[in-house]
Amino acid sequence: MSATCTIGIDLGGTNIKGGVCDERGTLLTRQSIETEADRGVEHVLQRMAGLVEELLRATGLGRSQVDGVGVGAPGPMSHARGIVYSAPNLPGFVDVPLREQFAALTGLRVVLENDANAAAFGEFAAGAGKEVRTLVMLTLGTGIGGGVVLDGKLWRGCFDNAGEVGHMIIVPGGRPCPCGQRGCFERYASANAVAERLCEAVRGGEDSVLGTRVAAGETLDARNVRAAADQGDTLAARIWDETCFYLALGIVNLRHLINPELVVLAGGLINAGPRLLEPVQSHFERQSWTIAPDAPRIAAATLGTDAGTIGAAMLARV
């Protein structure tokens, strides 16, 4: 077994995913366990350490054969200080010196990174972006996570919060966001926002085949909206197209700010395939300038739920 292996840990509120990667970003083994977040910080760290032990056993690696462990964690954090400031869905994770504590538990060098950044770096190192040097990734889920790779290096910004593209304001004075702003990108173009906006329209008196389900208080998601649009529902089709419009608007702004070779779309919405990518591309072309040939390619992520694990492992090499 190669002596240049690293371990990646993707810490989530529901599950902890882990894997061992070689120097090319190939997963040699992977495992997932429940986080059991409600049992507190120390318990979660012990769960993470136990997962490292399982991964070592599965590969037959000794600690001397592992260069380090990368941890992708949610929420605002300091990469430089190794501290998680506040992690949504992880009770008690407030000002946790995760890097120091996890290194003490595992006996390994630890690198702490934001989970969205780790996923973006995974796609750069071993996924959709492995042939480029500069990319932006948008993860379209509950909100919109993001990560930026510039000339082969993850861009963290002066305060370790670069890549929070979901909180670009695209509608001044628009929909309120839990971050405290109004009109954030993720309040219009995330997977959750698709269903939320349709439900609001139905409650405001607009017709939809989903109206009965909305009235009954059923939980709908973007897949329901897309299916209704495919069946000819006018409201659902409008909401879906507006989502693609807002996604394209965000990509236009990122084009001018960062000038990436590639914009990678990840998360649940990309399961729509061409039903997402084609209208996003079309709206992008209609909104973007034509005075310079610098449009990025827009593509779907390829690593799925492994992106964060692979990215965390590859960042442990940097």
Indicate whether 294 pLDDT > 50: yes
User: Could you identify the residue written with the tokens 């599965």?
Assistant: 58
> Could you read off the pLDDT of 145-182 as tens digits, one per residue?
999 999 999 999 998 889 999 999 999 999 999 889 99
Question: In CATH, what number does 132-302 get?
Answer: 3.30.420.40
To the nearest whole number, what is the mean pLDDT of the chain? 95
**CB-based contact 126:156 (threshold 8 Å):** no
**CB-based contact 305:64 (threshold 8 Å):** no
Locate 48 and state its tokens.
């993470």
CATH class of this structure's domain 5-124+306-315 = alpha beta
**CB-based contact 190:140 (threshold 8 Å):** yes
Q: At how many degrees (to 10) do helices 41-59 and 98-106 cross?
A: 40
Residue whose C-alpha is closest to residue 112's, from 122, 124, 123, 97? 97
* pLDDT of 2: 47
* pLDDT of 3: 55
> Could you read off the pLDDT of 17-28 as tens digits, one per residue?
999 999 999 999
**CB-based contact 269:250 (threshold 8 Å):** no
Average pLDDT over residues 183-210: 97
Q: Which amino acid is at 52?
A: V
**CB-based contact 21:27 (threshold 8 Å):** yes
> Could you read off the pLDDT of 35-77 as tens digits, one per residue?
999 999 999 999 999 999 999 999 999 999 999 999 999 988 9
* pLDDT of 1: 45
- Residue ranges of the chain assigned to CATH 3.30.420.40: 5-124+306-315, 132-302
> Could you read off the pLDDT of 214-261 as tens digits, one per residue?
999 999 999 999 999 999 999 999 999 999 999 999 999 999 999 999
DSSP for 207-265, please give it: --TTHHHHHTT----HHHHHHHHHTT-HHHHHHHHHHHHHHHHHHHHHHHHH--SEEEE
Percent of the chain at pLDDT exceeding 90:
94
> Could you read off the pLDDT of 70-116 as tens digits, one per residue?
999 998 899 999 999 998 789 999 999 999 999 999 999 999 999 99
* pLDDT of 66: 96
